Amino acid sequence: MIELLQGDITNVYADAIVNATNTSLLGGGDVNRAIHRAGGKAIVEECFRIRREQGGCNVGRAVITTAGNLPAKFVIHTVGPYWNGGIHGEVRLLSSAYKSCLTLAVHNGVKTIAFPNISTGVYGFPKQEAAEIAFHSVSDFLIKENDLEKVIFVCLDAENYNIYYSLLKL
């Protein structure tokens, strides 16, 4: 039910891929740029619409758009927290980001979903801790919810891949 890949999330065949973005839905790090570039104009237009209608997306929450030119059907955009030493609710907010994505996926009939490493790039979340939060948040959700068939963690780099691999072996 949980898989691990190393590579570019924009090439993953899943019902939905997750975009790690910022509250404006139009910025963020490398994942956001890659998804907007590969997905094209349709994703950007829907992000602008969501901004007009609800002002963006709060930290720990998620919104859904078309996937445009991507092999997925949907992009679920989520805002992870910036790391500020771990004393400002970062753990709770990162867990909430994963759970918000999963809840939104189920409500939209998604059976397979692919996640990048949320908050570990420019947001500075420690990679090991972020991976543990991701793994436990997803595992806890899957225990209660059986509508999802597969969750894929997609790691761009070998360091993150090795961290997730060690967690999946436990």
The confidence score (pLDDT) of residue 26 equals 86
CATH number where 110 lies: 3.40.220.10
Give the pLDDT confidence of 11-69 residue by residue, as tens digits. Answer: 999 999 999 999 999 877 788 999 999 999 999 999 999 999 999 999 999 999 999 99
The confidence score (pLDDT) of residue 75 equals 98
Interstrand relation of 62-66 and 16-20 (parallel, antiparallel or unpaired): unpaired
% pLDDT > 90, the chain:
91
Mean predicted lDDT score pLDDT of the chain: 96
How many CB atoms neighbour CB 132 within 10 A?
15
The confidence score (pLDDT) of residue 129 equals 98
